[in-house]
Structure 1
């Protein structure tokens, strides 16, 4: 399993919700924060201790959690109920944990390694003394919308994840990058907590990279994932351009509307339409300009420059070159016919 990050950030900056040697107090508080769960100290109960803290911004919660002490012998076993409404991406910082999904998988995870707990899985986690981890929490709906986008589907899909970590060392590095960005926003008190546009974009990007980098399982759907966003994002941009071709779109604007990164949108357009998003926008605008020039040729309602500016062509020479390449003659000829 590939390591993701060696520097988790200063988790002491999170808001501490429990720091206790009491099993019942810990169970009550963490059950409320996550989901109801069974908590057992495997050894001398006097050696039990727990720490849990969290902070975040709208869409993402970052948590820190540890059980026991590396100087003592007591291990800890937790058996939560399925998470139901959210997913957890868990990264071990110190010690080791063994994650077991009954009847399915067993995964031993060490420092710098991650695993994903989806909303549907039953599981238990065996903590070595003093083990500590950081988690990133995302809403189920956010991830399942991102999974549908990755699979080219219009409706959200029931997304499951294998326990084995990222799909490749390169994917692990990509996830490490977005995880570090999220930590910086939370632990460094970035602007995502007060800027809805930033928090929404970062949440959607995190969900998209989760389904592209981790081992996604879907029932009844063959993902055939290639790392390239599928045609659902292309359809969104095509619809936007057809409806509002006259507006000053940028690649960043179009990617935000498609809920993917600009690079992923570029790759998707090349794959499915053999063009770029801005190339498609230009073709739509040229078609609309041609229609207006034909109409203006009949009633004299506009000039070439009027039509060019109306459809976002601020450089008349460039507009004429595009138009000649597309229609085989200059725009002035269409106007004069």
Structure 2
């Protein structure tokens, strides 16, 4: 085994990392047993099998990072099977830089991952990775505690959540681009001359942002927690806006004002509402106002001094025709009928 500070990502050079000067090569070897011992120490207890010609076997492993995030690169020169124990204390997001691997969770899932694609290995499951000759990947390592808290935040529940992930990769093309963006930022800060390397506060924020992005871009599986079915809203920004809609339903709130409350962009807020509540922020506000108008009409039954138009205007409905249509759709009859009941 060779240990060096040159940080060479492979014999061919770092064609997927912005700067590898802060990576340290821990393994550069043609010896199977030596490689197995070294990488077992870096990851978890690790059984390594060369499925091709033993004469073709080679391995390279390097890593670098700061508290919270570790980046690594790994390559095998021959067809190789990796069979580790569960990771336990951390999670890996793996991205194929060259070639491909077949990753499987025995008895559960199996997937071929090609160049440019990602998969997640959570801390809890056993898995196997079948490497094609010359395949190379980079990994982002996050502590289990960081991931479990990010999952709790994403689901809007208290305390850490045992967060598991499928092997399906990113949830969409947009998600893949978002993950690629945060990954590039992490590589710049960790492996280049980014200021986060010398700023514990920025390093912590970057770590938390990376974990939060993982929740939104990959297939999260949680034990019995489903925000859409339990009534728990799965996004802090959505919860903040829901609270404001309930408290200030009689005020002329705009999308821009709601986004400021949510501490995100109007577009991001709209996407979050569509994902978790299948509506828009203003659509949710309208439903709250409609409910308040209904309550007031019910309370005013028999009171000749109250009109539908008065109630509608008070709750922000300037177009009486639209108000009547929304009301009919929700309650099954006209608002005037409620007032006369």
State the TM-score bracket (shorter-chain normalisation): 0.5 to 0.7
Instruction: Using the TM superposition, give the Cα deviation of residue 155 of structure 1 relative to its aligned residue in structure 2, in angstroms.
Output: 1.2
Distance, in Å, in 1 between the alignment partners of 2:70 and 2:107 is: 30
| Counterparts of 1:59 and 1:31, CA distance in 2 | 20
Aligned equivalent of 2:120: 116
TM-superposed deviation, 1:267? 3.1
What is the SS of the residue equivalent to 1:112?
coil
How far off its partner does 1:264 sit?
9.1
Give the Cα separation in 2 of the matches to 1:30 and 1:81.
12
Distance 1:233 1:84, change over 3 A: farther
Residue 45 of structure 1: how far off its partner (Å) = 1.3
Evaluate the alpha carbon distance shift between residue 264 and residue 108 of structure 1 in structure 2; reply closer, same or farther with a 3 A threshold.
farther
TM-score, normalisation: structure 1 = 0.66
Question: Cα deviation per residue 1:287-326 (whole Å; 9 max; x = unaligned)?
Answer: xxxxxxxxxxxxxxxxxxxxxxxxxxxxxxxxxxxxxxxx
Match of 2:16 among 3, 8, 18: 8
Residue from 225, 230, 234 that aligns with 2:235: 230
C-alpha RMSD over aligned residues: 3.3
Residue 85 of structure 1 aligns with which residue?
A: 89
Residue 266 of structure 1: how far off its partner (Å): 8.1
Gaps of 5+ in 2: 1-13, 244-259, 283-341
Q: State the match for 2:327 in structure 1.
A: none
In the alignment, which residue of structure 2 is the partner of 1:291?
none
- Per the TM alignment, residue 233 of structure 1 is displaced from its structure 2 partner at its CA by 8.8
Q: Distance in 2 between matches of 1:261 and 1:206?
A: 18
Question: Measured at CA, do residues 223 and 98 of structure 1 come closer, stay the same or move farther in structure 2, by a change above 3 Å?
Answer: farther
Query: Which residue of 2 is the match for residue 58 of structure 1?
Result: 67
Residue in 2 that maps onto 1:245 = none
Q: Secondary structure at the match of 1:26?
A: helix
2:131 to 120, 127, 136: 127
Task: Provide the residue aligned with 1:221 in structure 2.
Answer: 225
8 Å contact 2:18–2:188 — kept in the other structure?
no
Change in Cα spacing, 1:109 to 1:198, as seen in structure 2 (3 Å) is: same
Change in Cα spacing, 1:144 to 1:132, as seen in structure 2 (3 Å) is same
Change (3 A) 1:264 1:29: farther
Partner of 1:175 in structure 2? Answer: 179
Is the CA contact (8 Å cut-off) linking 1:229 and 1:264 kept in structure 2? no
More deviation, 77-86/187-196? 187-196
